[in-house]
Structure 1
Amino acid sequence: MPKIVTIAEMRAIEAAADRAGVTFAAMMENAGRAVAEAILARLDDLTAHKILVLCGSGNNGGDGLVAAHYLSNAGARVTVYTARAPDEADPKVRRLREKSAFLADADNDQRGRVLHNLLSSATVVVDAVFGTGARFPLGGASAELLKEAGSALRARVPRPFVAAVDCPSGLNCDTGALDPLSFPADLTVTFAAAKRGHFTFPAADALGELVIADIGLPADLPEAQVGVELAAAEAVRGLLPRRPRDAHKGTFGRALVVAGSVAYTGAAYLAGAAAYRVGAGLVTLAVPEPLHPILAGQLPEATWLTLPDDDGALDSGGAELVTQELDKVSALLIGPGFGTAAGAGRFLDSLLVQAAGPRRRPFGFAGGAASEAPPAARFPPVVVDADGLRLLARLDDWPRRLPPGAVLTPHPGEMAALTGVDKDTLQADRIGAAQKYAAEWGHVVVLKGAFTVIAAPDGRATLLPFATPALARAGTGDVLAGAIVGLMAQGVGPYEAAVAGGYLHGRAGELAARALGTPAAVIAGDVLDGLIEALAEMT
């Protein structure tokens, strides 16, 4: 999967590559060529376009000069405008001069008339003014160029196609902050790895299409072994369980979903159906007794465990019934639709206490000898979601009361409840927050939201490439939790199940929005249906 790096990590990788023989000059050549190739691939009729390359005075401007060379080589009409008079001894400038390319610069452009004329006629603008090395607040001649270009582009209707080199100028590639001078791109070509700021708002809205270009850096550099990855379809495909032709339902495991209350009747259905849709062999829904007649007809494929209730919500008396089932299941989901009443809290506390008793046999359908283990290890693999997380946060020493590697699926508000840290602080560094608490707690953290982050206790982290308002609806989190537990029931590891389930869920949201014509119309049931096509794309 593609890597996601900080600015400091990228600099270390480039320095190591230079020491290994891939010079900085070679990297720049490869980067500029990649930008040109990406632009050319998106232009139908090259002769119909006028391409203007805006170059700052740093390395990003150097990438732009190289891109201009390759665009010109391909037959495009290219003009280069630089923030400073170009160095005529620079080989990149010399070869453009040899092609009789038109180069203009701000030092010799009285009142910016040349720039204004170029911007008014260009159909493609290449933004190579500031890159990842920009210092904020922006200043100098390059900032003046960016200011004038942005003003002209905002006034043009229709606006020309804008391609950014590494990042739109003025984007902080660590934090995702945007300088007021910045203008959005339609295409961003970044090099070797995505940058963290690419997946943080408001920057994410300024990128357009993001392309991660190979610039020839050795993959085996120690500095390149960063722990954060961007989920990709091909890699996710490899995480999904096989479906042998001679399988039976036991082959694909049994998921137990403990969910629901009369206030949230649909949560159990959405989670249970999602577990089935991703391939679980058998799903048992454990629900407060009043929910059974409401839900049984909606999911006839499920088996049911009815639990005593306290005014329609779970109560502690149901914990023993659930505990008796734990030896027979291969994965457990707790929490969707619980509500946060005292009875539900007592149920969760009692379940964690009772499940600490010796297990009669290993989880799954097959029998086995009794096993002794530390109390938190006597569960099957566990997912805790929604109200289960808020109730968990009220318990002392809760991380040790869960089996190691449990999957926690908080949205930012639930993450704040678990950590005691305010949402804004968590959201400012979502990757860092997920990694920090996954390591501290010893559990997999799925920090939901735009570009959901999944972090493992060992430092690995995966970011999902989905940011769609289609998923900003009640119940979609229940579908996600069900997809994860359904994969875990089939033997997929907790971290891998979270990555694969999260990817399928995000893709299902996109597909649902496409099918309905608008993300505004998508409800959780549509995302559930979208899992079918999302999974079909993977198989």
Structure 2
Amino acid sequence: MKYAVTSDEMKRYDRNTSERFGVKPEILMERASLCVADEIEKYITSKNADRKYTVLVFAGVGNNGGDGICTARLLKQRGFRVKLVIVGDMTKCSELCLQQLKIAGNYGINTDTFSNIRDNKSPAEWDIIVDAMFGIGISRNVTGNYAEAIEYINACKKERRDDIFVVAIDIPSGISADDGRICSLCVKADETVTFNCVKLGHILYPGCEHVGELVVCDAGITKESFCGNNPRYFYYDEKPTALLPERKKNSNKGTNGKILIIAGSKEVSGACALSAGACLKSGAGMVKVFTASENAEVIKTVIPEALIDTYEDYEPVAEKLEQAMNWSTAAVIGPGIGTYGKGAELLKTVLSRYDKNLVVDADGLNLIASDKELRNLAGDYCRNGKKLILTPHLAEFARLIDKDIKECKRNILVYPKELANELHCTVICKDARTIVSDSNEKKIYINMSGNDGMATAGSGDVLTGVLGAFIGTGISAFECACLGAYLHGAAGDMAAMHHGRLSMVASDIVEELENILN
């Protein structure tokens, strides 16, 4: 597990390090700048070029600018040719920035004006550009000389391509550290060197697309500086093996989970097949598909390991469904059931009569969004200790909270928690970065696995099957959701590697689950 912090959290940890533990801010700045200088030397070493490199450093007037000025001094001392440019109002310089300017002057590093650089220097002058203008503090659109400096850096990169190396200190200027928003424009970095913790803006879209390679260095702020207030957001950067359910050596198919997949309709057959296949691949001992009779032959052919219960469109289904629910240890409902006809009847029966853990997806979510009675039943579902996981993609999520999709996207770190609290459940809000929130957890999970090739029909049905296999085990609903989202995305990454992001389909993700889980 790795933390991703907000700008306020990072500033608090920085302050705690100095005020509570006595590590002077000047020392932290020196350590941070040493990290940047070391990364630039690694780049030079990789080029195998025996010559002096010219570095242009853009420094703002805050502490990020201080990092840049300090880096300029360290690079000059290591033999680089360095040009330092201060961007911003010098009357607003932070104390640390002024201190670094004085030190730089003592070492003979003179500053130049941006206008002189822009008007009289060719991009061919520079081998490396260091961006140290804003750091993590930006909260408004970039204007004036800052905007012109960013445009100049990006123009140099566009003209020189791989012949110039753009390094951002902490975060590329123009990206909000709190949500990845682009504040009108931003530096497009080849590498970003950040300190101690990943910032939310590094990993959330669209900002993450401009970070380049992200390098996290130890600049002296440790977990002790959290002072008991751990960051709220976290992610996995590798398979969370500690969460994987343990399979006992003396187990049998019945004790490894009997999962009921309530999916499909007479018009839709693929959804139940994908969910059932994914559930079996994820470790379920037995899977029973409850679906319209028209899908029986498809399931028998595609998923011969699955049991089948079917219903006719004209018959009441509650009694037959209740028998299937009694057989199961956990259930999934929603993929392809439809929002008319039998869909509402199936969901009402489950929400009002089922006494085990449940995953609701797809049409099930749309029914909850449009039917007050079903929404109330969903809100009451977890009151007796049962687990409920909802898995909306962004459009379904917008319907559930009755807000515009764009607004939901802007508030994707906040709104899923509000829905989870309302319905007393776990919410997996699926987007380019999937967010998992739970009514019983302060922490919020950001999923880093997956790729745009997974934006294909049936991908969500695969996730519901994965969750179905895990929700019947001993792990919490929140852990189940985080684990499922990560493994689903990791299987998607492997499918993209083998089939290409344009050509991969949902069944490819199912097939890769066995490689991810073993």
Q: Is the 8 A contact 1:334 1:388 kept in 2?
A: yes
Q: Which moved more, 1:83-92 or 1:482-491?
A: 83-92
The residue that corresponds to 1:501 in the other structure is 484
Q: Is the 8 A contact 1:166 1:188 kept in 2?
A: yes
Offset at 1:291?
A: 0.5
User: Which letter maps to 1:105?
Assistant: D
* SS at 2:136 equivalent: coil
2:112 to 82, 105, 109: 105
The residue that corresponds to 1:386 in the other structure is 362
In structure 2, the CA distance between the partners of 1:94 and 1:512, relative to structure 1 (3 Å rule), is same
Q: Is the 8 A contact 1:251 1:490 kept in 2?
A: no
Matched, 1:128 2:132: yes
The residue that corresponds to 2:395 in the other structure is 413
Matched, 1:480 2:466: no
In structure 2, the CA distance between the partners of 1:165 and 1:283, relative to structure 1 (3 Å rule), is same
1:468 to 430, 442, 451: 451
Offset at 1:455?
A: 0.6
Matched, 1:454 2:454: no
Matched, 1:229 2:234: yes
1:235-294, Cα deviation, whole Å (9 max, x unpaired): x12111223444332342221111111322111111111111121222221111111112
User: Which letter maps to 2:213?
Assistant: E
The residue that corresponds to 2:308 in the other structure is 304
- Return the alpha-carbon distance in structure 1 between the equivalents of residues 97 and 489 of structure 2: 51
- Return the alpha-carbon distance in structure 1 between the equivalents of residues 467 and 218 of structure 2: 32
- Return the alpha-carbon distance in structure 1 between the equivalents of residues 96 and 173 of structure 2: 25
The residue that corresponds to 2:28 in the other structure is 27
Offset at 1:38?
A: 3.9
User: Which letter maps to 2:11?
Assistant: R
The residue that corresponds to 2:192 in the other structure is 188
The residue that corresponds to 1:66 in the other structure is 70
* SS at 2:365 equivalent: helix
1:155 to 156, 159, 162: 159
Q: Is the 8 A contact 2:437 2:478 kept in 1?
A: yes
The residue that corresponds to 1:276 in the other structure is 280
1:270-323, Cα deviation, whole Å (9 max, x unpaired): 11111111212222211111111122121111122223335xxxx7x2232222
User: Which letter maps to 1:387?
Assistant: D
Q: Is the 8 A contact 2:351 2:378 kept in 1?
A: no
- Return the alpha-carbon distance in structure 2 between the equivalents of residues 217 and 353 of structure 1: 51
The residue that corresponds to 1:490 in the other structure is 473
Matched, 1:262 2:261: no
* SS at 2:130 equivalent: strand
- Return the alpha-carbon distance in structure 2 between the equivalents of residues 171 and 201 of structure 1: 10
- Return the alpha-carbon distance in structure 2 between the equivalents of residues 207 and 422 of structure 1: 28
Offset at 1:157?
A: 4.0
* SS at 1:309 equivalent: coil
Offset at 1:475?
A: 0.2
The residue that corresponds to 1:364 in the other structure is none
1:198-243, Cα deviation, whole Å (9 max, x unpaired): 3443222212223333332231424641321122315x12111223
1:147-170, Cα deviation, whole Å (9 max, x unpaired): 433333333344623221121111
Q: Is the 8 A contact 1:46 1:76 kept in 2?
A: no
Offset at 1:388?
A: 0.9
The residue that corresponds to 2:14 in the other structure is 14
Q: Which moved more, 1:431-440 or 1:52-61?
A: 52-61
Matched, 1:426 2:429: no
Matched, 1:164 2:168: yes
Offset at 1:481?
A: 1.0
The residue that corresponds to 2:377 in the other structure is 398
1:286 to 281, 287, 290: 290
Unaligned runs of 5+ residues in structure 1 are 356-378
1:372-407, Cα deviation, whole Å (9 max, x unpaired): xxxxxxx21111011111112214213334235410
- Return the alpha-carbon distance in structure 1 between the equivalents of residues 496 and 35 of structure 2: 32
- Return the alpha-carbon distance in structure 2 between the equivalents of residues 111 and 232 of structure 1: 41
In structure 2, the CA distance between the partners of 1:207 and 1:422, relative to structure 1 (3 Å rule), is same
* SS at 1:521 equivalent: coil
The residue that corresponds to 2:327 in the other structure is 328
Q: Is the 8 A contact 1:55 1:83 kept in 2?
A: yes
- Return the alpha-carbon distance in structure 1 between the equivalents of residues 414 and 191 of structure 2: 27
User: Which letter maps to 1:231?
Assistant: Y
The residue that corresponds to 1:360 in the other structure is none
Q: Is the 8 A contact 1:319 1:348 kept in 2?
A: no
Superposed CA RMSD in Å reads 2.8
Q: Is the 8 A contact 1:12 1:223 kept in 2?
A: no
- Return the alpha-carbon distance in structure 2 between the equivalents of residues 510 and 97 of structure 1: 50
Offset at 1:483?
A: 0.8
User: Which letter maps to 1:414?
Assistant: E
The residue that corresponds to 1:81 in the other structure is 84
1:59-115, Cα deviation, whole Å (9 max, x unpaired): 112222333455556x56352422269999966457667877x654217x736356x
Q: Count the aligned residue pairs.
A: 501
Matched, 1:45 2:28: no
- Return the alpha-carbon distance in structure 1 between the equivalents of residues 275 and 29 of structure 2: 49
User: Which letter maps to 2:486?
Assistant: Y
User: Which letter maps to 2:233?
Assistant: V
Q: Is the 8 A contact 1:22 1:217 kept in 2?
A: no
* SS at 2:231 equivalent: coil
The residue that corresponds to 1:57 in the other structure is 61
User: Which letter maps to 1:11?
Assistant: K
In structure 2, the CA distance between the partners of 1:70 and 1:259, relative to structure 1 (3 Å rule), is farther
- Return the alpha-carbon distance in structure 1 between the equivalents of residues 147 and 475 of structure 2: 50
* SS at 1:132 equivalent: helix
User: Which letter maps to 2:287?
Assistant: V
TM (norm. structure 2) is 0.88
1:335-390, Cα deviation, whole Å (9 max, x unpaired): 111121132112211333333xxxxxxxxxxxxxxxxxxxxxxx211110111111
TM (norm. structure 1) is 0.85
* SS at 1:252 equivalent: coil
The residue that corresponds to 2:507 in the other structure is 525
